[in-house]
Amino acid sequence: MLSIIIPSYKDPFLKKTIEDLLQKAQGEIEIIAVLDGYWIEPKYIVEDERVNYIHLGKNVGMRRSINTGVLAAKGEYLMRVDEHQIFCQGYDKILTETCKDNWIVTPRRFFLDVEKWEIMDLPPVDFMTLRIGRTGSGEKFSGIEKPGNDKEMIQESMAMQGSCWVMKKSWWEKVIGELQNEGYGPLYQDSHEMVFKTWKAGGKLMVNKNAWHAHKHRSFKRTHNNGTKENPSNNEQCFKYSLDVWRDYFEKEIKPKWNK
């Protein structure tokens, strides 16, 4: 079974995302929507035995919401998605059937027009490089969109957006453990933390272009990305902490490998 975790904070498209996941699945799934310190109106609740809602008593942020969903998950595989996405038919089987024990897998990414609820006429993202770039008064790890290898439908990648990934729950328990909040804060750099931990343990980040998802385009208003009054995010501190932890490993081991 595939356990699908959706960290949610007051997003109007949560119901549509859940309905799309249910409609497009071809195997056994469960959906765990983690409501991060808020309630949704009954009319927005999807009545389906495969859908579970977890209400957190206060806003704790995306990282802790994902951790909560993982603890509740019953499936052999985990999938994390955002609350404003659509998916290809059979995404669940495509992404799990070829997923190795030590892989994190992300599908091809299109861009979603949430007003029309359809894919935008823009090229998809198949591959991302990883670099240290400037941000505000400091630096941060950044995934940069680049063309992939058209000859490989499943290929290794250096980075991912983090909005949609699949891995075995056993890999999460063995290697990821949980998304750390101390230092990182409640929100950012979660994908880089998981990928670095995976590389250190001998695993890989893979893109499976046989499956796709479409994620809300950045031109539309976002909800969960900038923290809340109850749970603010110090972005610069997060970026600095991530670099302090992983910079040497990235510079000495990862960059040389990819620059061969």
pLDDT of residue 68: 98
The domain limits of the chain are 2-258
What's the rounded mean pLDDT across residues 71-76?
A: 98
Question: Looking up tokens 């999938």, which residue turns up?
Answer: 79
Tell me, rounded to whole angstroms, the distance of Cα 119 from its chain centroid: 19
What's the rounded mean pLDDT across residues 3-28?
A: 97
Tell me if 139 sits within 8 A of 168, measured CB to CB: no
Q: What pLDDT digit, counting tens, does each position of 38-71 carry?
A: 999 999 999 999 999 999 999 999 999 999 999 9
Tell me if 245 sits within 8 A of 192, measured CB to CB: no
**Which sign, positive or negative, has the C-alpha torsion 191, 194, 79, 129?**
positive
User: Under CATH, which number does the domain 2-258 receive?
Assistant: 3.90.550.10
